[in-house]
Amino acid sequence: MGSEGLELKIEFCGLGFNSPLVLLSGCVGFGNEYTRVEGFSHRDVGAVCLKGTTLEPRLGNPPHRIAETEGGMLNAIGLQNPGVDHVVSEILPGLDFSETRFIANVSGSTVEEYQEVTRRFDDSPIDAMELNISCPNVKEGGVAFGNDPEMSARVVEACRGVTRKPLITKLSPNQTDIAENARRCIEAGSDALAVINTLMGMAVDIESRQPVIGNNQGGLSGPAIKPVALLKVHQVYQVAKRHGIPIIGQGGVTSAEDALEFLIAGASAVGLGTGLFYDPLAPARINLGIMEYLQRHQLGTLAELTGSLRLHQ
């Protein structure tokens, strides 16, 4: 049975997805890089999240920007991108929207910038928008929007006012109460949640006694963060299910077993990121494993798995 089988087709925020797999922002550029990989097919993925986009072009952080760690990777790219106008006018026209869904990643350093980037993507063929609220708020001393529920809600509310396209808020794990943040974002108008963004971390060069990353710290991704991500998905699901809000569960997924864990914990879709760097053909393999699981357990739909976690009493 092929990975494009009906068993894995889902509806997410009113959008039809080929499968529950979403390629995560920052890992597939602006959506056309993976078409160069022999054997890769957009039919194996439900959606592709484009690279973080700001209002004006950004050069990003000084090197080093990436460092491999035990069971994961640190990155501090710094949102290098050509700006939203270039993405809308030059990049989106080159994408094949008949093959899969494309989700813009909206980033900014002020509420007003988030709103304006959202406005410009609203007047484009993009299918949905992911709000990257882990960006630092320059008006509040650099505190990340996503680490404060009030600031998170302000961003969502501002963006909700300028678009009717689905908004997916990407929640940070670097906060005290992620469930409360999720509640505030839902009430402000978020249609879905992506759980989680990277954890903050550091690597040290013992010879120079300096951080390996030029930005001193970076976002930790990969298998090392999966246990944290699963717990956060479970916690957010307790809030999201009351509002009928779907979750993209992400953080360290490299296998069908990983994806199934996220679905059981409460996700409706599953994000693939760091794992794509060493296995760009992972989606087809993971889809096959999910289908085999459904058949083995005589389940007709993925929805039967979402939130089916049986907690110990």
Residues 6 or more apart whose Cβ sits within 8 Å of residue 53: 81, 83, 84, 87, 104, 105, 106, 107, 117, 121
One CATH from 3.40.50.360, 3.40.50.1820, 3.20.20.70, 3.90.245.10 for 6-61+78-200+219-304: 3.20.20.70
* Gap between the Cα atoms of 170 and 105, Å rounded: 9
Q: Can you give the pLDDT at residue 1?
A: 39
The span from the CA of 95 to the CA of 84, in Å, is 15
Domain ranges of the chain: 6-61+78-200+219-304
The secondary structure of residue 24, as a DSSP letter, is P
Cα–Cα distance for residue pair 175/181, rounded to 1 Å: 9
Using CA atoms, how far residue 254 sits from 203, 208, 274, 277, 300, in Å, is 23, 34, 8, 10, 24
Environment class of 70 (CB within 10 Å of its CB; exposed 0-12, middle 13-18, buried 19+): exposed
Output the pLDDT for position 254.
98
Alpha-carbon distance of 37 to 39, in angstroms, equals 6
The list of the chain residues with pLDDT below 70 reads 1-6
In sequence order, the 6+-apart residues with CB closer than 8 A to the CB of 30 are 50, 51, 87, 91
The model's pTM is 0.96
pLDDT at 68: 96
- Check residue 6 and give its pLDDT: 41
User: How is residue 164 written in tokens?
Assistant: 């009717």
Q: What is the pLDDT of residue 295?
A: 95
Return the pLDDT at 38.
Answer: 85
- Residue at 70: amino acid letter: E
DSSP class of residue 136? B
Which residues are marked as active site? 135
CB atoms within 10 A of CB 82: 16
